[in-house]
Structure 1
Amino acid sequence: MKKTILNLFALAILVSCQSVVTEDERTAVGSEGWLEGTSEEKFEEVAHHLGGFSRTMIEVSYRYSELYWAGMDENWGYAEHQVEHMIEAIEDGIKRRPTRAASAESFLKESLPAMEELIKKENKEEFIKGFRALTSGCNACHAKEGESFIKIAEPEIRTSPVRF
């Protein structure tokens, strides 16, 4: 009986030691082992690759252009799709950079919901007016962040192959 208890105790110690060794293990993972270091170092590297709010703005910029062309085509389903993904991208960006939340708040709570309501009306003229208000919201947010040198304007060139 004592031997069984000692064996179980030894097994428990071995398992707990194994988890410590695994945590500190510096095994490279990923294609060709590009992701190296401890688990914490790997998470930090992945977080770095996800980027901050500037990466968010790359996606929002794409969605903004697609929203414009969707409205011009009167493809209201695609327009709604773009607004949904703009919201999602901004919310994800705020998770990575919470300091941006205050500036983005009115955009998330006013500008984008107003655009969603206009899209439901399926009226191109109203959409254009609303899109201009959305653009003003973009520029206001940039100004709040001290980045008023980033001026947003209506897209002039269509780059996406998506058509209605």
Structure 2
Amino acid sequence: MKSNSLVLVLVLAMLSVCAVTDADSLEKKPNDWLLGAKSDAERFESLQTYLRGFDQPMWEVGERFRIIHDALSRNNFELAAYHWEKIRVTIKNGYMKRPARQANSDAILLNSTWGEVNEAFGANNAQQAWAGFEKAKNACMACHVAESVPFMNRQALFELAKPD
């Protein structure tokens, strides 16, 4: 019994030495931009800078919107609905970083339009789905105007429409 206790103490001692050695080596890695910061405040500042503002979520929304267009062109309503859900998550995550964007995001897109478009995609009917796509596009463009960035509407993304 005493030898088992002694072995346990030795193992714990070795593990603590390894942990200290690992912590020391982490501080010395030149590419350890976050853990190598001098304080938590510096780490949080680095994270905030890295995560940026609302532009990255909007970039993701645009990419997902293109995928929705492609999915509807293939009558893949489930894929369109999947990306529509991810757009909602992305916008909410975006205004977590930029709370001033929440009011228009909610009022113009998420509180009513989002559900209507989601329902249109879920109907598994091409005509309804494309009408939902247009409703979503118009809501996005209205939000850009409300946020004083109407120039966002003058890009190829907003020329996407139901194929002939």
Q: TM-score, normalised by structure 2?
A: 0.73
> 1:72-83 residue pairs with structure 2 within 5 A?
72-83=73-84
CA contact (8 A) 2:78 2:122 kept: no
How many percent of aligned residue pairs carry the same amino acid? 26
Measured against aligned partners, the alpha-carbon deviations of 1:95-147 in whole angstroms (never above 9, x if no partner) come to 11000011101201122211110011111122112211111101100000000
> 1:29-44 residue pairs with structure 2 within 5 A?
32-35=31-34, 36-44=37-45
Distance 1:109 1:37, change over 3 A: same
Give the structure 2 partner of residue 153 of structure 1.
Answer: 158
CA contact (8 A) 2:54 2:95 kept: yes
> 1:110-125 residue pairs with structure 2 within 5 A?
110-125=112-127
CA contact (8 A) 2:121 2:132 kept: no
What RMSD over aligned residues (CA atoms) do the two structures have, in Å? Answer: 2.0
CA contact (8 A) 1:139 1:148 kept: yes
CA contact (8 A) 1:135 1:154 kept: no
Q: Which runs of 5+ in 1 are unaligned?
A: 1-26, 157-164
Query: May I ask how many residue pairs the two structures share in their alignment?
Result: 130
Q: Which runs of 5+ in 2 are unaligned?
A: 1-25
Stretch of structure 1 that moved more, 27-36 or 80-89: 27-36
Q: TM-score, normalised by structure 1?
A: 0.73
Distance 1:31 1:50, change over 3 A: farther
Per the TM alignment, residue 75 of structure 1 is displaced from its structure 2 partner at its CA by 0.9
Distance 1:88 1:29, change over 3 A: farther
